[in-house]
Structures are given as structure tokens and as C-alpha cells.
Amino acid sequence: MGSKNERGSRDGRRLYRYFTSEWQLFLLGMLCTAGVSSIEVLFVWLISDVVSATVEKNPLMLNRIALIIVGIHLVKWVFSYGQTYFISSATERIAVHLRNHLYAHLQRLPIGFFEKNRVGQLMSRITNDVNLVQNSSVKIMSAVSAPLVILGCLYTIFRWNPRLATVSVILLPLMSYTVTRIGRGMRGMTETLQTRLGDALSSVQETLCGVSVVKSFGMEDYESKRFAQKMHHAYNAAMRTVRRSAAMSPTIEII
């Protein structure tokens, strides 16, 4: 267990160096994300103004708020575009650097390494594992925006109803614990999924490299069934991750 945690920490430090190399893009993306989060909190304030104007039957105020909302949406569009562009650009560049470095590293490894490791697993590392980093842009934006929105909403609730805000603060540790537990489970499931996909790629590589043998012995149906079975295992692993991920948002909303 200790060696696994140590390996995870070491891999995390290596990835950290890749992420820090693109700190300018991440900084711009974070600033845009902060802008989007601030606007979302501002909408909460505008809702109260809309309710007040409706109760008071003040059409002039409603028209003014409508124009403000249109203007805010235009500003939000700029920030939303910026956060997606800058953070996605950073993760795409990191994925390119990772694949280049992984491929160059594989070229320098001895023959014995390739005799002990299946080609499909190595291909999975370069493709699927790096894809996890490449697709992390949405998670990065959520990790930055969610706390900002929560803090903004708490401030708003404190202004409106301190008692309700106190209850919300009490529930924050429970929400944090729930997210942590679900996240830990998803990490293990993701590792299992990558292993299953690596097995499937290994099966493809072995079959294509020995296609003449497969056809000579009429093993096409056998190989197709073997590959289908491996893909079924990969599907089950993927769906376990999906179920855990799908449960996170509604669970947090209930809390």
C-alpha cells in the first residue's frame, strides 16, 4: 500500500512539472473562470431584484433588469469562451508533450522491457492514459469555479438569512467528505478501465501481427469472440466509473 502511494506521489510530481510549464495559459483560464463564477453569483442577486420588481409591479425596473441581464450574458460569453480556450489549450499542449516524451522514453528502453510488457498495454499508456490528462480541462474548470460559486452564494445567503447560511456551512464538511470518498473510488475504477482497454489493444496487436496464423487455423470467430469479451470487460469497468460519477452531482445537491 505504501509503495503504491509513493508511486502515485512520484507520478503526481512528474505531472505537476508538465502543468506548471503551461502556467500562463492556466492563469488566464482561471481568471476567466473566476469571471464566470462571479457572474453566476450576480444572477442570484438579480433574481431578488426581479422578484421585487414583479411584486411592486414596476415595469420600468423590469426592463432595466432585462437589459442588464443581456449585457451580463454577453460578458459571460467572453469569459466562458476564454476559460474553455485557455485551459483546453494548456491540457492539449501537455498531452502533446507527454506523448512525445513517452514515445522517446520507449525508444531508449532495452529489449527486455518489451519482452516483459505487452505492446497493447504500452499503447494504452500513450493513448488512453494521456487522454485522461487531455480531457481534464472540464474538471479543472469545475474545481476552480465550484468553490468560488459556493463562497459567493454563502455570502449572499448570509446577507439574506444568517440562520440558513449557518446550516449551509455546517453541511459543507459532509459535502467535502462525500466528494472525497466518491473521488477515491473513481481513481481505482479509472485504473481498472485503463487496464481493460490495454488488454483489448493487446489482443488486437497480437491478432494483427499473427493474422496469417489466425487465418491458417480458421480462428477468426475465436479471436472475434475473445476481443468482444475483453471489450465487454472494458464496458463494465467504464460503466462502474460512469455510475459513480453520475451519483456525485445529485448527492451533493441533496446535501
Tens-place pLDDT, residues 104-123:
887 788 888 777 777 767 77
Q: What local confidence, expressed as pLDDT, does residue 3 receive?
A: 52
Q: What local confidence, expressed as pLDDT, does residue 162 receive?
A: 74
Among 196, 191, 190, smallest CA distance to 228 is for 196
Residue 180's domain spans which residues? 170-255
Q: Are residues 150 and 188 in the same domain?
A: no
Q: What local confidence, expressed as pLDDT, does residue 120 receive?
A: 67
Q: Are residues 204 and 223 in the same domain?
A: yes
Q: Are residues 209 and 130 in the same domain?
A: no
Q: What local confidence, expressed as pLDDT, does residue 4 receive?
A: 52
Q: Are residues 63 and 145 in the same domain?
A: yes
Q: What local confidence, expressed as pLDDT, does residue 164 receive?
A: 66
Q: What is the CATH number of the domain that holds 78?
A: 1.20.1560.10
**Sign of the alpha-carbon torsion through 199, 120, 11, 24:** negative
Q: What local confidence, expressed as pLDDT, does residue 248 receive?
A: 66
Q: What local confidence, expressed as pLDDT, does residue 145 receive?
A: 67
Q: Rounded CA gap, 27 and 30, in Å?
A: 5
Q: What local confidence, expressed as pLDDT, does residue 174 receive?
A: 73
Q: Are residues 250 and 197 in the same domain?
A: yes
Q: What local confidence, expressed as pLDDT, does residue 77 receive?
A: 92
CB 44 within 8 Å of CB 72: no
Q: What local confidence, expressed as pLDDT, does residue 95 receive?
A: 82
CB 80 within 8 Å of CB 29: no
Q: Are residues 182 and 138 in the same domain?
A: no
CB 26 within 8 Å of CB 87: yes
Q: Report the run of H or E that residue 97 belongs to, with start and end.
A: helix 59-108
Give the chain's residues under pLDDT 50.
1-2
Domain boundary among 125, 160, 195: 160
pLDDT digits (tens, 9 = 90+) for 168-215: 677 777 777 776 776 666 667 777 777 777 777 777 777 767 767 667
Q: For the chain, what is the domain count?
A: 2
Among 97, 191, 179, 182, smallest CA distance to 143 is for 179
